Structure formats: C-alpha cells, structure tokens
Amino acid sequence: MSLNRRQFLASTLAVTALPRFALAAPHPLRAEPVVSQILDAGEGQTAGFGFNGSTPGPELRLRAGERLSVAFENNLPDPTAVHWHGIRIANAMDGVPGLTQEAVAPGGTFDYDFVAPDAGTYWYHSHHQSWEQVARGLYGPLIVEEATPPDVDHDITVILDDWRLEPSGKMAGDFGNMHDFAHAGRLGNFAKAILPEITVNRGQRLRLRIINTATARVFPLALDGIAGRVVALDGRPLPEPRDLSQVSLSPAQRIDVIGDVTDTVRFLFPTPEEAFVMGTLEPGQDPVTPREAPVAALPDSPRPTPSDSPRALTLRMQGGAMGGQHAGDDIWSFNGVSGLPDSPWASFDRGETARLRLVNDTAFPHGIHLHGHHFHEVNEDGSPGDLRDTTLLMRGETREILVVFDNPGKWLLHCHMLGHQASGMKTWVEVA
C-alpha cells in the first residue's frame, strides 16, 4: 500500500501534545487502552493502546548518569513488557519476554530500574507482540539530557508514525496479516509528525528530536523553514554536525537536528512528484535575532574503542516474498534460522570486538537493531563510521558493523520492521 495525497494528513494542528512529567522516583507507568485523536480534530477518534492515558506515552526525561525507576503496571487485556530502546542498560531491565523477563500478565506489575549512561534521544515501547502493540500505540519518548545541554530556545520531540485506519478513524485489525509480514510489513495509510503545541519564533534556535516509531515504514524526511544541522543519530552525537538534506529513518531510528527558524518549519515526506507535509511548527509574531554561534557538535560521552582485529561473522537476511533463498521454518530468517534459537547465535567475551557483515539477501529493506549496545556502521574505506543502534539495509545491500560487546547479558538482534521480527527475523547473542 502506498500513501496517496488524500490519505495523508497535512494538518497544521498539533493533534497530540506529548505529556511529560518530571523525574521523581518511581514513575508510575500504566499500559492501558486509550482513545486518541489521530485524524484531524473533529474527525473520528481511534481506540488503541498507550501509557498513562495517552499515545505516545509520557515523555520520560532524565540527565545522563541518572537512575530511572518505573513502577510499571499492565492494565491491558494482554501480556506486555517495556523495552528501553537504545539504552545501554543492565540486561535484566531490557524488557524482552522470553529472554530477560517473563511478560507482565494483565493486572501484573514490574519494576524497571536502571541508569541511563548516555545522553541522547531514545524511546520505549512494548516488546511483546510488538507488531501489534506498537502499531496500536504502545510507545513513548525517553530523553536523556546532556549534563550541559546545548543552547537552544526549544527542545522539541517529534514522533513520525503511520497508522492503518478506516475512514471512521477506527484502527484496521488484521495485525498478524501474513501478506504484510512477507512484504514490507504493516504500512499505514495515514502518516504524520506528532508535535507539541508550542509557539516558536523566527530566529529562535530549536533542537528537534525526531523518532520513527512506525512498525514498518521507512520515513524519508526533509525539513524546511529551519536552517538546521544534524547533530546526532540514534541518540549518539556526531563528531561534526552534518548538512541536513534529505534523510531516511528506519523504524526505531532517531535523528537530532539543531537549527534556527527561518519560516514555518515543515516536516516533509518527499516523493519523486511532490512533498507531503506531515506536520508544521508555525512561527509566532515575535521574531528574534538569530544566534551568531554556528550549531556546534554535542558533547561526546565515553565510548569503547573497537579493537583492530575484530572477530568476523556474517548475518544473512533471507526469505520473504520474492526472496531467492530458503528462509528457515518461518517467513524470514537469519542464516537460515527463524526465530529465537535455544542457544545464542554467537557468544562473546566481555569487551570483545566483532565485525558483523549484514547481508540483505531479500527484496525488502530491513532495519537491524542490536539491544544493549551501540555499534559503528563501517565506512567504505573500512574505518568505523556513525554510531547507531539500528541500521537500515535496503534490498540487496550489505553493510558491516563494528560492535564492542562490553555489556554482559543476553541481547536480541532483530529486524525492527516488527512484522519481520514476528515472522522469524530475530536472533540473540550472549556476552559473558
């Protein structure tokens, strides 16, 4: 299914403000059914899942090095668990049923308690039947602030998502649709940027924390109305801010942009013909003189240095519709094995560096996510490049990633097109 013009929401209304609460231990976090205004105001509402009464759930904000303590309660009719995506977390808090904890039964509770070591833009989401629960809205932003945050006028979280809705606003069912699983996943027919209701002004400097929470859609993104630079990918600072031309965000990927408002800030979904407006920030009537200082790199945080002689392994994505390779028992596989094997795909000594060659032998893009670690995408010249927690491989593409496995535990490695994960494209590694 592709997006057509009428299906797109080009609303300038901020439909869902992101609620937030200040750090106080422990945060109550309730997963529960919610009704939200995904369509324009005045149109039908959508029943789904959320946290503390809303989807996206509350923005959780803390400083790097602080402890987050969450009293989680499951008020859903189904079991669930919360994963803290991108955080280098203690393994027992990673929220993966079957690997790090039991799913929390309806009416049950679980205490999540961890230190967030690295500043950056992260998010939390269900990791149980995630292809359905995340599509229903069970996610929220997790923001870890720098000890000395950059000088900006507004720090704005922007969520890109798409939903498969009936004209009434009702969410289409059929979450486990095998046709979706075997193709690109559950692509929505409505997409938008969820923005807070705030007034910006020309000349003001903004930090935009953009998160793709969709279960399947790769968002191409362009911005106008802001002279901005990309300062972080998947929460990790770039050594030098980078030009903001068109970028793509795989499901689960994030980018941080800092820049100065020049006009209406528009979040655009470019297509070969035309760009669709996914959301806007309208400037108010109080322009200010822009800062003279150019956008600087964010402060870096310590990161392990990969060794020069990494262990080399290959992970081949196989299967799916129009796939040439045998795919294991299910629709998708890694190296011919579908789903979580009893023993890990690979075991590493703590601190060991591995170079994983990811080969996309399928007809679809995959966003491959490793839990509990960041990794370098390896540049063409072989040098360690951008640090990420999720890497996007287009059809036929191969990429090497360099990982220092320094976080002990059992860690999932899977496709973040969540229908692909559900139908086989996942495995796990163990770090002793």
DSSP string, 127-166: -SSHHHHTTTT-EEEEEEE-SS----SEEEEEEEEEE-B-
The option from ligand C2O, Cu ion, none interacting with 373 (CB < 5 to 8 A, set by class) reads none
Query: Contact 360/320 with Cβ under 8 angstroms?
Result: no
Place of tokens 């800092």: 258
- The length of the chain in residues reads 432
With b for 16 or more beta-carbon neighbours within 10 A and e for fewer, the 18-55 pattern comes to beeeeeeeebebbbbebebebbeeebeebebbbbbebb
Rounded Cα distance between 150 and 396, Å, is 39
For residue 403, the minimal CB distance to ligand C2O (Å) is 15
- Cβ proximity to ligand C2O: between 27 and 369 the closer is 369
The residue from 369, 373, 374, 420 that contacts ligand C2O (CB under 6 A) is: 369
- Cβ proximity to ligand C2O: between 217 and 416 the closer is 416
| Neighbouring C-beta atoms of residue 123, cutoff 10 Å | 27
Rounded Cα distance between 215 and 204, Å, is 33
For residue 84, the minimal CB distance to Cu ion (Å) is 21
DSSP state of 24: -
Which x/- pattern over 198-237 shows residues binding ligand C2O (rule: CB under 6 A)?
A: ----------------------------------------
- Cβ proximity to ligand C2O: between 142 and 281 the closer is 142
φ, ψ of residue 132 in degrees (nearest 5)? -95, -50
Contact between 127 and ligand C2O by CB under 6 A: the answer reads yes
Q: How far is CA 338 from CA 291, 365, 423, in A?
A: 53, 18, 8
The option from ligand C2O, Cu ion, none interacting with 414 (CB < 5 to 8 A, set by class) reads ligand C2O
The option from ligand C2O, Cu ion, none interacting with 183 (CB < 5 to 8 A, set by class) reads none
The option from ligand C2O, Cu ion, none interacting with 229 (CB < 5 to 8 A, set by class) reads none
Contact between 420 and Cu ion by CB under 5 A: the answer reads yes
Contact between 125 and Cu ion by CB under 5 A: the answer reads no
Which segments of 346-389 does DSSP mark as H helices, in order? none
Choose the stretch contacting ligand C2O; rule: CB under 6 A; options: 143-151, 283-291, 346-354, 408-416.
408-416
Q: Which of residues 230-269 bind ligand C2O (CB under 6 A)?
A: 252
For residue 100, the minimal CB distance to ligand C2O (Å) is 11
Which x/- pattern over 369-408 shows residues binding Cu ion (rule: CB under 5 A)?
A: ----------------------------------------
- Cβ proximity to ligand C2O: between 210 and 223 the closer is 210
- Cβ proximity to Cu ion: between 20 and 395 the closer is 395
Query: Contact 219/212 with Cβ under 8 angstroms?
Result: yes
Tokens of 226: 């802001």
For residue 390, the minimal CB distance to ligand C2O (Å) is 8
- Cβ proximity to ligand C2O: between 194 and 244 the closer is 194
The option from Cu ion, ligand C2O, none interacting with 232 (CB < 5 to 8 A, set by class) reads none
Q: How far is CA 278 from CA 51, 226, 253, 336, 388, in A?
A: 24, 15, 17, 39, 25
The residue from 27, 61, 88, 125 that contacts ligand C2O (CB under 6 A) is: 125
The option from ligand C2O, Cu ion, none interacting with 410 (CB < 5 to 8 A, set by class) reads none
φ, ψ of residue 381 in degrees (nearest 5)? -85, 5
With b for 16 or more beta-carbon neighbours within 10 A and e for fewer, the 173-198 pattern comes to eebebeebbbbbbbbbbbbbbbbbee
Contact between 425 and ligand C2O by CB under 6 A: the answer reads no
Contact between 388 and ligand C2O by CB under 6 A: the answer reads no
For residue 38, the minimal CB distance to ligand C2O (Å) is 21
Count of residues interacting with ligand C2O (CB under 6 A): 10
The option from Cu ion, ligand C2O, none interacting with 412 (CB < 5 to 8 A, set by class) reads ligand C2O
Q: Which of residues 73-112 bind ligand C2O (CB under 6 A)?
A: 83, 85
| Neighbouring C-beta atoms of residue 16, cutoff 10 Å | 20
Handedness of CA 191, 237, 239, 288 (dihedral sign): positive
| Neighbouring C-beta atoms of residue 260, cutoff 10 Å | 19
Binding residues vs ligand C2O (CB under 6 A): 83, 85, 125, 127, 252, 369, 371, 412, 414, 416
> Which residues contact Cu ion (rule: CB under 5 A)?
366, 415, 417, 420
